């Protein structure tokens, strides 16, 4: 891993994007890393575009500003690709993770991704509906990010999901989210 990994999340209010960034940061913290997780939004309504950010480092983090040059861009809602330049500032070797049933090669073309950049897709919304009955793609996206980044193990992510959700939700909802994380990890496709 680079000394510091910077992640920018693009989603819509109500999809769990901010929660996903926090859960991922908590898992990285449990794995012994220094982390940041914070949203960038105002009083937006449900469905409005938002951004969230992570920084993960082996050293203390002193920078406190939005991620402008992300190593990884996570797009929780593919409809944002039509109105927002999610590639803005992305490094030449950046990785894009997109919640979509479409082929990653098709989205690579849409993004005009450089040959040195990687594009991954997963149908996180479908996974969420099948696992816990709601179109909340955040848990599968956390699983994908764990796999693609390689900086935290699936087991650590699952433990942190249990901890994060354990006080708020029923065991059935927790189990569904755990299954969704696993499926995101397993079903991601590269193109």
Per-residue pLDDT tens over the stretch 33-55: 999 999 987 666 788 899 999 99
Q: What is the pLDDT of residue 18?
A: 94
Q: Which alpha helices (H) appear in the chain, and where do they start and end?
A: 17-30, 104-111, 124-132, 138-149, 154-166, 171-187
Q: What is the pLDDT of residues 68-95, one digit of tens each?
A: 999 999 999 999 999 999 999 999 999 9
Choose among 78, 73, 173, 152: nearest CA to 117.
Answer: 73
Choose among 88, 150, 75, 85: nearest CA to 119.
Answer: 75
Asked if 121 contacts 188 with a C-beta cutoff of 8 angstroms, the reply is yes
Residue 85: phi, psi to the nearest 5? -85, 90
Those residues of the chain that have pLDDT short of 70 are 1-2, 42-44
Q: What is the pLDDT of residue 169?
A: 86
32: left (phi over 0), alpha (psi -120 to 50) or beta: left
Choose among 118, 140, 151, 190: nearest CA to 32.
Answer: 151
Q: What is the pLDDT of residue 140?
A: 98
Q: What is the pLDDT of residue 32?
A: 92
Q: What is the pLDDT of residue 191?
A: 87
What is the sign, positive or negative, of the torsion defined by CA atoms of 55, 60, 63, 68? negative
* CA dist., res. 21 & res. 32, Å (int): 17
* CA dist., res. 179 & res. 127, Å (int): 9
């Amino acid at each position: 891993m680079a000394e510091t990994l910077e992640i920018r999340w693009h989603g819509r209010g109500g999809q769990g994007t901010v929660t996903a960034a926090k859960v991922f940061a908590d898992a990285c913290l449990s794995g012994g890393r220094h982390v940041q997780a914070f949203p960038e939004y105002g009083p937006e309504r449900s469905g409005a575009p938002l951004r969230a950010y992570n920084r993960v480092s082996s050293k203390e983090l002193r920078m406190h500003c939005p991620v402008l040059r992300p190593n990884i861009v996570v797009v929780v809602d593919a409809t944002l690709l039509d109105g927002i330049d999610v590639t803005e500032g992305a490094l030449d070797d950046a990785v894009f993770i997109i919640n979509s049933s479409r082929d990653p090669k098709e989205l690579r073309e849409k993004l005009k991704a450089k040959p040195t950049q990687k594009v991954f897709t997963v149908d996180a919304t479908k996974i969420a509906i099948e696992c816990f009955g709601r179109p909340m793609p955040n848990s599968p996206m956390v699983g994908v990010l764990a796999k693609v980044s390689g900086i935290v193990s699936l087991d650590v992510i699952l433990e942190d999901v249990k901890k994060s959700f354990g006080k708020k939700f029923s065991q059935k909802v927790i189990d569904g989210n755990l299954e969704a994380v696993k499926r995101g990890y397993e079903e991601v496709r590269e193109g």
